[in-house]
């Protein structure tokens, strides 16, 4: 995508904004002031991890941006890397702009600012580790982080700085999805060597172990969490998932279902298979699926309905869509998807009162309603129907959840 440049005259100098699409509201920010001194009236408070740079959040026209001061060369390189990751649909924050040529009122140069779009409904891993974690929550967090690193290495991206502070988590139908938030030390290659992959994992181990010790020293880490066990667990989960995605499998000549089973397992983990490489061995085949990307269910849901959801959310919504299609005897997939969207999904979303819509995003609410309906039906021994399930969920579950967006409007001074 061609970059467009906007130039803003600020006091004694000029600010140059390099962006794929400039938000005019960005031009009104106090660029002649160091980020550390920006007035609270321009900022919103959001949880963030530790950083070697000054980072601030601003809210412009209902959009929250993260601003980071750094050197110009580093900011432009990270901007380009994040844009490259966006083009391959990798789960990372979206690069918005680079602001250079800043000077203060005395004409002294100021550092360049990298602007990214804040990932809505997300929090840094460090924020969650700073509270009591139930074992099942810890499991989902570590699974999401392992899947992120596997997907990253499959794309040829070496992070070089994975930590609890620069990884975001987001709800995904009862599980969590992980996102990269800082690509400053990253490199994108056609393919990673074993040495590059091992080095990345060792850096992950050291960073997360160090942060856990830091939280422990501040008495923020629950006493039941052992830092060494945490990092060993993450690495073990990563290695198991990497093996499942990449190993060569030997199957008998008449065992086609074994190949299909392998592909299904990969799809269930969110990985798509572009092709299957096969070579003959005594009595059978050596099979190695070529995994090209994650997001199998996400892309199918987007193609059929236009809904953009996390992988587990998409899986649940597609299951509901497929059940609707079977019950409706609709053979055309596109027609069934359109009717499901207008007759099932949208009425459920509209049924959520305005004061409850800040609790969770619509796709997550629908996913949880599906689960709630199943639980109610199990207890009743029959299908209770969607309308009663929606009402029960809104009254008994959603009304008691905290607002996941509420922090966006909090003044800095209040925290």
Which residue from 177, 160, 195 is spatially nearest to 81, judged by alpha carbons?
160
- How many angstroms separate the Cα of 231 from the Cα of each of 153, 164, 213, 237? 18, 11, 11, 10
pLDDT, averaged across the chain: 81
The pLDDT of residue 406 = 43
Q: What is the mean pLDDT of residues 363-379?
A: 88
- The DSSP code sequence of 136-182 is HHHHHHHHHHHHHHHHHHHTTEE-S---SSSEEEEEETTEEEEEE--
Determine contact, residues 19/97, Cβ cutoff 8 Å. yes
Distances (CA, A) of 111 to 31, 34, 50, 101, 309: 10, 8, 19, 8, 36
Query: What values do phi and psi take at 97, rounded to 5?
Result: -165, 165
Q: What domains are there in the chain, each with its CATH number? A: 4-118 (3.30.200), 122-246 (1.10.510.10), 249-294 (no CATH), 309-400 (no CATH)
pLDDT of 2 strictly over 50 = no
Residue-wise pLDDT tens digits, 313-341: 887 888 888 878 877 777 778 888 888 99
Confidence of residue 168 (pLDDT cuts 50, 70, 90): confident
Q: Residue 110: pLDDT above 60?
A: yes
Mean pLDDT (whole number) for 356-372: 85
Q: How many residues does the chain have?
A: 415
Residue 411: per-residue pLDDT? 41
pLDDT at 34: 94
Give the pLDDT band of residue 80 (cuts 50, 70, 90): very high
120 and 405 in contact (C-beta within 8 Å)?
yes
Q: What does the pLDDT read at residue 278?
A: 64
Give the mean pLDDT of 38-46.
Answer: 85
Gap between the Cα atoms of 366 and 377, Å rounded? 16
Q: What is the 3-state secondary structure (H, E, C) of 300-315?
A: HHHHHHCCCCCHHHHH
Q: Please tell me the distance from the alpha carbon of residue 39 to that of residue 148, in angstroms, as a whole number.
A: 36
165 pLDDT higher than 90 = no
Q: What are phi and psi of 114, to 5 degrees?
A: -95, 130
- At residue 257, does pLDDT exceed 70? no
Q: What percent of the chain has pLDDT over 70?
A: 81
Q: What pLDDT score does 105 carry?
A: 86
Radius of gyration of the chain (CA): 24
276 touches 288 (CB < 8 A): yes
Query: What pLDDT is attached to residue 1?
Result: 39
Residue 294 pLDDT grade (very low, low, confident, very high; cuts 50, 70, 90): low
Give residues with Cβ within 8 angstroms of 300, minimum separation 6. Answer: 314, 318
Q: Is the confidence at residue 307, as pLDDT, over 90? A: no
Element (H, E) at 346: helix 346-350
Q: Which of 64-68, 288-292, 314-318, 406-410 has the lowest mean pLDDT?
A: 406-410
Taking 3-state DSSP, the helix, strand and coil percentages for the chain, each rounded to the nearest 5, stand at 50, 20, 30
- Does 413 have pLDDT greater than 60? no
Residue 128 CB burial class (10 angstroms; 0-12, 13-18, ≥19) = middle
pLDDT tens profile 267-291: 666 566 655 666 777 777 676 666 5
pTM over 0.75: no
pLDDT average, residue stretch 163-191: 81
């Amino acid at each position: 995508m061609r970059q467009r440049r906007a130039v803003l005259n600020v006091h004694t100098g000029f600010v140059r904004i390099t962006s794929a699409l400039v938000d005019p509201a960005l031009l009104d920010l106090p660029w002649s002031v160091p980020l550390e001194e920006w007035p609270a009236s321009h900022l919103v408070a959001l949880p963030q991890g530790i950083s070697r740079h000054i980072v601030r959040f601003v809210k412009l026209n209902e959009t929250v941006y993260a601003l980071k001061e750094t050197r110009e060369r580093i900011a432009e390189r990270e901007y380009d890397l994040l844009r490259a990751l966006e083009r391959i649909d990798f789960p990372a924050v979206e690069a918005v702009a680079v602001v250079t040529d800043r000077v203060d009122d005395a004409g002294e140069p100021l550092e360049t600012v990298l602007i990214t779009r804040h990932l809505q409904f997300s929090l840094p891993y460090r924020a969650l580790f700073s509270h009591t974690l139930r074992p099942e929550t810890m499991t989902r967090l570590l699974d999401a982080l392992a899947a992120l690193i596997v997907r990253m290495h499959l794309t040829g991206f070496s992070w070089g700085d994975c930590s609890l502070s620069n990884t975001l988590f987001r709800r995904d139908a009862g599980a969590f999805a992980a996102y990269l938030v800082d690509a400053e030390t990253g490199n994108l290659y056609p393919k990673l060597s074993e040495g590059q992959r091992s080095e990345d994992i060792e850096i992950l181990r050291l960073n997360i172990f160090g942060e856990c010790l830091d939280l422990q020293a501040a008495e923020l880490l629950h006493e039941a969490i052992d830092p060494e066990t945490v990092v060993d667990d993450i690495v073990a989960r990563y290695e198991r998932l990497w093996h499942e995605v990449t190993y060569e499998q030997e199957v008998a000549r008449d065992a086609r279902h074994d190949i299909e089973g392998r592909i299904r397992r990969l799809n269930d983990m969110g990985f798509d298979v572009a092709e299957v490489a096969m070579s003959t061995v005594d009595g059978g085949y050596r099979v190695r699926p070529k995994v090209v990307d994650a997001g199998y269910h996400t892309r199918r849901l987007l193609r059929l309905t236009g809904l953009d959801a996390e992988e587990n959310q998409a899986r649940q919504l597609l299951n509901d869509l497929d059940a609707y299609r079977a019950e409706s005897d609709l053979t055309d997939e596109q027609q069934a998807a359109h009717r499901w969207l207008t007759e099932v999904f949208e009425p459920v979303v509209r049924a959520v009162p305005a004061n409850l819509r800040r609790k969770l995003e619509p796709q997550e609410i629908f996913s949880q309603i599906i689960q709630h309906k199943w639980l109610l039906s199990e207890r009743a021994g029959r299908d209770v129907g969607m309308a009663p399930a929606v009402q029960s969920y809104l009254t008994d579950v959603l009304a008691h959840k905290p607002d996941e967006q509420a922090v966006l409007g909090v003044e800095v001074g209040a925290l």
